[in-house]
Amino acid sequence: MKLAKLLAQADGISLHAATSDASAVEIDAITFDSRRVEPGTLFVALHGAAMDGHDFIEGAQAAGAAAILVDRARAADFEGRLDCPLLVAEHTRQALGPLSAAFFGHPADDLYLAGVTGTNGKTTISWILDALFSAEDPQSADASAQKSAPSGLLGTIEYRWGAHREVAKNTTPESLVIQRVLADMRRDGVERVAMEVSSHGLATYRLGGTHFDAAVFSNFTQDHLDFHGDMDTYREAKGRLFNRLLPASKKAGKDPVAIINLDDPAGDWFAEQARAAQVKTFTYGQSSKADWRATEVEQTLHGTRFLVRAPDESFRIRSKLMGEFNVSNMLAAIIAARSAGVSQAQIQATLAELEAVPGRMQRVEATSADARAAQPAVFVDYAHTPDALLRALETVRPLTDGRVVVVFGCGGDRDRQKRGPMGRVGVEGADVAIITTDNPRNESPEAIIDEILVGVDEVVADRVGVCVEVDRARAIKKAIDLAGPNDAVLIAGKGHENYQERDGERIPFDDVEFARAALDAKALPQEQVGQNAPKRIASWSLAKIAEAIGGRLCLDHIEDAPAPESVAALCPVGVSSDTRTLEAGELFVALRGENFDAHDFLGRADQGGAIAILVDRVDALDTQLPLVVVEDTLAGMSRLGHAIWNEARDAGMRTINVTGSNGKTTVKEMLALLWGARARVFATPGNLNNHIGVPLVLCAIPADCERLILEMGANGPGEISQLLALAPGEARVVTSIGLAHIEGFGSLDGIRRAKSEIFENPSADTAAILPFSESSNLVGPDFAGRCFTVGFEAGADLRVELLDGADARGALGFTMAHAGQEYTLHLPIPGTHHALNAATAIATLIAAGEAIDAPALNGALAKLALPAGRWRIVEQGDYYFIDDAYNANPSSTIASVQAFVSSATEEPSPRVVILGEMRELGAEAARLHCEVAAKVAEFAQVDALVCVGEFAQQMAEAASKVRTLEVAAFEDVEAVGPWLKYIVDQRGLTRILLKASRGARLERVIDLVVATGEK
């Protein structure tokens, strides 16, 4: 498009300074991102919260910008400095909408466009409208006339028309996206479009130049105050749809209509805005004052019936949608559809068949139809504001004869003011409230829950009927397990979302799928319930436990003690040593430490629902629970774990022991995936790999476990030997040898000796899997078992070679050769060390005689997702963080940097390495830190090195001696932020690796950047 033509169609933009042929300049694209400028692009300099596009004009011009648009207040700064036309608008943010509309040919003018705004209901109304807009006319005799033109939808979930689908990134996208999508819809024959209009989109002028035929107001309640600041500003933003955009649409030649919910307290205000702008206005609701009314409303678990009464017509509606709010949503959509020419018959037929909008009062049922009659009614809803939660609970309450159980939480990094009210509404509206995690983002889930509980305490002093379960999956299962056939369960907050946002990552999580899984498990006969769970200990009575560990049952302290034989027959469902995570029915183990003695807090075990307590003293104990008394509780728990493992082994379970300086957890996760495709697997949860964790894992072995993967850690000599004695495996793995925890081992040789303990007392069938480079150090020539070595070296039994093409997010390719066969494999994570980890895990399959098939291996490994702090990617504007700060030692740090500099990038960008402290290195700590810094400096791809912590200055000096690169040293993490901001402001997109031991908390660098909203 010629620039002159574009300016003629876009109001408020003028030429400030032009080249001689400015009017003939051809504009091929528009962007506000200087990195996307190409010859022929019009660059719009937007002023953002953290960055100002005017600062990037020189770069845009250098990239070939055809013209540049600036704020009028900045025009003088660039006059005479540009080789391309300089365009001026009062505010470029406000000008971008009309400019985008003009560039794409004002597509909205050729469509019937209905916009929907409101705190709640936007998605549902838009989905209903989309269905009505594309409905067939059942009363038309002409079959061809029955079919409507395809309709379009722009909403929270997706942008769609015909067979086209795009996942939505924002409820209301940027102006350029809006106009591009509308233009594509027009091209493909779409005639009617439903669009969600958010307050964010209105406040940031994204809808400028978009002309509407109808605008719906659904309701107005508290939300988004983190963005708007107060309720008046929030309301004013939504009002722009009616007092600015509709009048502009009228001026453009349309005859728009405002559709206002008069049942909402803010309805009168919104109606006044539209009427004052001389826009045709219809009100709706169940109020007698409304123009369109819903009367004779009937609701059941199967749907809703009501009568529509309008000034000139009335007709009945039958729908599968439930709830008073959905009556309101349907009524709004009906008015907009009638205004667009959709017939009564089309509306009635469509609403009768329309299924629930995903995640909006969506009914979830067990897979088996036979099981459904005996199960609770379960609903998943997006309600994430106090008002929406109240409406959802009010919908469910009259539909059940039993209890209402609600599961809900609040999102992190969002409006904190609504957390207390959410707690209050949840407790007041339900019989049982389970408070859990929503999308914590970068906040602590526990801290969010504490703020919700403030509202709970305002209503229920003793929190009767209130339960906290941080893990959302367990919360959903707990709710469904608690509910009976006449009860209803409402799972609120996430709705259609199929992920959970934690620490900058989106982890797959779908409320609907977890609810259905819980219903399916609930439907199983009792003897089958444990396919997914019961622990082997659930069949162990207290009498059997006491006998196995050399203890005795004690009831002497209990008032009105039950019969000893009845207590002896009790079976715990599990074992716990922490009252904070204790579950009802578990055996609590009262451990002692240097600074604590759990015997002093046994009352908490009573409150947590423990079935009994393992103790080593009986005097002055605050409990009325049965006791199992032993000389030492940790030793007793270890003996119990070993006894349970023995029973499982006798039943056919096989064990894989895993240790190493680096890679234990990653190899464990790989083993779980590879073996999980072949057997029922139980792997060490979290980091339960020490003298307390391993016995707890053994006590948690599921009854149907076929393969146990047991991670073993150590801080000193003899510890692996003790852990191995509890559960010696048929396969024993050492992942690597490096300088980790050297404080406890004394030297690298001390680490080798300690790790080699895993190979003690082998049988002829024992398989030792270990690095080729360390094989002679870890096993001797008299080793009775079989050895499988892994490495890049030619002599390794499993030889690994890397393929080209690793990138930052995954796609690490490698070949693995064994016994004359070669396999091409891929991992979704970068890092050459991970290729060795994968081959190490595969070696356990080979050792067990399992068939090796590359497609099957790749299918299993493709599901690999590393825990937080292990190559976690966080993108915040021009900050591209790779958080690998879960733990660190010299060898793992170098491996991490190697992966960092080897990963491919879509475009060149500077690489910054931030090194924190590596803990437990003993007297050699200073020297080792300096050696690591010097080795990092040897990587030519590293543009800057930041050293943080006690040895920072020495590390920086060591690196500077290797080569000239940008080096900085800081004593604490907080000081890194300003330095990093300067680098990113100067250089744009920057890739940043964080590497340190967990205790250094280096990830706070990311938290600081996110908290300050840096872009």
Q: Known binder of ligand: residue 665?
A: yes
Complete edge-to-edge strand list for the sheet that includes strand 164-167: 164-167, 158-161, 151-154, 192-196, 112-117, 214-217, 257-261, 280-285, 292-300, 303-309, 314-319
Q: Known binder of ligand: residue 123?
A: yes
Q: Known binder of ligand: residue 319?
A: no
Whole-angstrom Cα distance, residue 10 to residue 678?
Answer: 63
Q: Known binder of ligand: residue 887?
A: no
What DSSP state is assigned to residue 485?
T
Q: Known binder of ligand: residue 438?
A: yes
DSSP letter string over 60-96?
Answer: HHHTT-SEEEEEGGGHHHHTTT-SS-EEEES-HHHHH
Q: Known binder of ligand: residue 329?
A: no
**Structural contact between residues 403 and 480, judged by C-beta atoms closer than 8 angstroms:** no
| Residue among 291, 231, 235 at smallest CA distance from 260 | 291
Q: Known binder of ligand: residue 541?
A: no
Whole-angstrom Cα distance, residue 363 to residue 499?
Answer: 19
Q: Known binder of ligand: residue 536?
A: no
Give SS3 for 118: coil
Determine what percent of the chain falls in helix, strand and coil, rounding each to the nearest 5. Answer: 40, 20, 40
Q: Known binder of ligand: residue 318?
A: no
The counts of H helices and E strands in the chain are 36, 44
CB-count burial class (<10 Å; 0-12, 13-18, 19+) for 951: buried
Q: Known binder of ligand: residue 824?
A: no
- Kind and range of the H or E run holding 899: helix 890-902
Paired residues of 873 in beta bridges? 882
Long-range contacts of 20-28 (CB under 8 A, 24+ apart): 22/67, 22/85, 25/66, 25/67, 25/84, 25/85, 26/1, 26/2, 26/66, 27/1, 27/2, 27/3, 27/66, 27/67, 27/103, 28/66
Whole-angstrom Cα distance, residue 257 to residue 268?
Answer: 16
Q: Known binder of ligand: residue 289?
A: no
- The amino acid that residue 615 corresponds to is V
| Residue among 628, 842, 631, 645 at smallest CA distance from 731 | 842
Whole-angstrom Cα distance, residue 876 to residue 881?
Answer: 8
Q: Known binder of ligand: residue 440?
A: yes
Q: Known binder of ligand: residue 323?
A: no
Q: Known binder of ligand: residue 198?
A: yes
| Residue among 217, 164, 214, 170 at smallest CA distance from 194 | 214
Q: Known binder of ligand: residue 441?
A: yes
Q: Known binder of ligand: residue 497?
A: yes
**Structural contact between residues 323 and 488, judged by C-beta atoms closer than 8 angstroms:** no
DSSP letter string over 809-831?
Answer: SS-EEEEEEETTEEEEEEESS--
Which residue stretches of 153-312 are H helix?
175-187, 199-203, 225-228, 231-240, 246-251, 267-276
- How many Cα atoms sit within 13 Å of 926 on the Cβ side? 6
Whole-angstrom Cα distance, residue 591 to residue 617?
Answer: 11
Q: Known binder of ligand: residue 204?
A: no
**Structural contact between residues 434 and 407, judged by C-beta atoms closer than 8 angstroms:** yes
Give SS3 for 713: coil
**Structural contact between residues 362 and 381, judged by C-beta atoms closer than 8 angstroms:** yes
Q: Known binder of ligand: residue 122?
A: yes
CA 179, 185, 186, 188 dihedral sign is: positive
Q: Known binder of ligand: residue 663?
A: yes
CA 748, 753, 755, 756 dihedral sign is: positive
Whole-angstrom Cα distance, residue 298 to residue 302?
Answer: 11
Q: Known binder of ligand: residue 119?
A: yes
Listed in order, strand segments (DSSP E) in 831-896 are 872-876, 879-883
Whole-angstrom Cα distance, residue 182 to residue 188?
Answer: 10
CB-count burial class (<10 Å; 0-12, 13-18, 19+) for 367: exposed
Q: Known binder of ligand: residue 437?
A: no
Complete edge-to-edge strand list for the sheet that includes strand 707-711: 681-683, 707-711, 654-659, 731-734, 767-771, 786-791, 798-802, 812-818, 821-827
Q: Known binder of ligand: residue 493?
A: yes
Tokens representing 288?
Answer: 């007698």
712-722 exposure pattern, b = at least 16 Cβ within 10 A, e = fewer: bbbeeeebbee
Which residues fall in the annotated binding site for ATP? 118-124, 660-666
Annotated binding residues:
34, 118-124, 170-172, 198, 206, 414, 438-441, 493, 497, 660-666
Q: Residues comprising the binding site for meso-2,6-diaminopimelate?
A: 414, 438-441, 493, 497
